[in-house]
Amino acid sequence: MNLQIIHNKIFEVRGQRVMLDFDLAELYQTETKYLKRAVRQNLKKFPIDFMFELTKNEFETLRCNFSTSKRGGIRYMPFAFTEHGVTMLASVLNSDKAIDMNIAIVRAFIAMRHFANNHKDLFEQINDLRKEMQARLGEHDTQLGAIYDALENLLDKKEEEATTKQQWKERERIGFKK
């Protein structure tokens, strides 16, 4: 199985990488209702850090990430399985296809973790650059503000001088008239 297909079915929910029950059912070549039934019959094997049910809001947020044309209306919110939950799911769905697919899925989770760990320094460098850019932009904003204030003061002085000259020319003159 192509790991990219599995990667595309891994989402981030509640700060954890998860796979949804209907995607897992598709990969395991079973119906979602049978997968959910097997999980409900073995709930002790699925603590909250292995599997949780999505809220309506979480599901609506994720809905834009996958095609809805093949799914009709849903009666129950989907289950979200973490990496450990997917591993436990293979023990509940005891078929050769489930075991083979589970191995591929765990490899996909491991590949994602390795990628994140190998590029942690790159993420830190990008974050440092972002902070430095924000600091510099803040300094530039302050400097530009000072320049604008100085220009406004100069323009005000020039306008004031022009007004004063105009008033001087228009003053009422006293003394001899020519």
**Residue-level pLDDT, tens digit, the chain, 178 residues:** 567 777 788 888 888 889 899 888 888 888 888 889 989 999 998 999 999 999 888 888 887 665 544 455 677 889 999 988 888 887 787 777 777 777 878 788 788 778 777 777 777 888 888 888 888 887 888 888 888 888 888 888 888 988 988 888 888 877 776 6
Token representation of residue 96 = 């050769």
| pTM greater than 0.75 | no
Which regions of the chain does DSSP assign to beta strands (E)? 10-13, 16-20, 51-53, 79-81
Tokens standing for residue 13: 């929910």
pLDDT of 68: 46
45 and 38 in contact (C-beta within 8 Å)?
A: no
CA distance 150 to 128: 33
- Cβ distance 93 to 30 under 8 Å? yes
Cβ proximity of 28 and 90 under 8 Å: no
pLDDT digits (tens, 9 = 90+) for 19-47: 899 888 888 888 888 889 989 999 998 99
* Spatial distance between the Cα atoms of 64 and 177, rounded to a whole number of angstroms: 88
